[in-house]
Structure 1
Amino acid sequence: MDYDRIEKIVAALNNPVRRNILFWLKDRSNFPPALPEHSDLEGVCVGYIQEKAGLSQSTISSYMNLLKQAGLVISERHGQWTFFRRDEKSIQAFLGAIGKELS
């Protein structure tokens, strides 16, 4: 993992709400059940993330965009809904890279 990518991730994690979002996304049960028509989709609707965080739609959109640009989450659009899930492979790569850098 290159230095610029590490810096993007560190910047994205430099906010307690964004870190909470990543933690919440580890377990789908941290959110209300998906609507029946979305039950087969991975991830969590951005509206549920907004509701749990208690922040405005624009703030959550900005936060999710930062997390996505850093490679920490993956988004999928289904109709008018956007669903987010963690990018576990990218998170593990970051943890390995930062571990090497700090050891």
Structure 2
Amino acid sequence: MTTNDAPSLDSAQLLEIFKALGNPVRLQILQWLRDPDGNFWPEQAIVDQNEIGVCVSHIQAKSGLAQSTVSAYMSTLEHAGLVRSTRVGKWTHYKRDEDRIARLVDVLGHAL
């Protein structure tokens, strides 16, 4: 189904990813995370947003949603394997999992 060096995703994993992407706000957040410095405030970041990720509080501020809603959305994206989280002090930062996203694109390209 995929190239020899990229393991395939099973049906359950694909469904989890599609469910995560089925929410327009979660999809928008994933798109924002593609270019952290262009979509968030690098001068306010306490870490390198491209290396470590974007602070959940910055995602919350940009989205205008409650912090608990954003945390739930990010948990869904992380469970689907589309983002990874890193704790820095009391803050959680999120970064896209580009390897997993590339694998998804590869699987879809061969399956559909």
TM-score by length of 2: 0.84
| Displacement of 1:33 | 1.8
Q: Which moved more, 1:46-55 or 1:25-34?
A: 25-34
Matched residue, 2:73: 63
TM-score by length of 1: 0.91
Q: Which moved more, 1:37-46 or 1:69-78?
A: 37-46
C-alpha separation in 2, matches of 1:50 and 1:89: 25
Q: Deviations over 1:18-54 (max 9, x none)?
A: 0110110011121012546424852100000011111
User: Residues 18-57 of structure 1 correspond to what in structure 2 (within 5 A)?
Assistant: 18-29=26-37, 30-35=39-44, 37-39=46-48, 42-57=52-67
1:93–1:61 distance in 2 versus 1, CA, 3 Å: same
What RMSD over aligned residues (CA atoms) do the two structures have, in Å? 1.6
Structure 1 stretches of 4+ with a deviation exceeding 2 A read: 34-41
C-alpha separation in 2, matches of 1:13 and 1:93: 15
| Displacement of 1:82 | 0.4
Q: Which amino acid aligns with 1:26?
A: R
Aligned length: 102
User: In percent, how many aligned pairs have the same letter?
Assistant: 46
- Does the CA contact (< 8 Å) of 2:45 and 2:55 recur in 1? no
User: Residues 1-20 of structure 1 correspond to what in structure 2 (within 5 A)?
Assistant: 1-20=9-28
Q: Which amino acid aligns with 1:69?
A: H
Aligned match for 1:75, one of 81, 85, 106 = 85
Counterpart secondary structure, 1:71: coil
Q: Deviations over 1:35-86 (max 9, x none)?
A: 4642485210000001111100111000000000000000000110100000
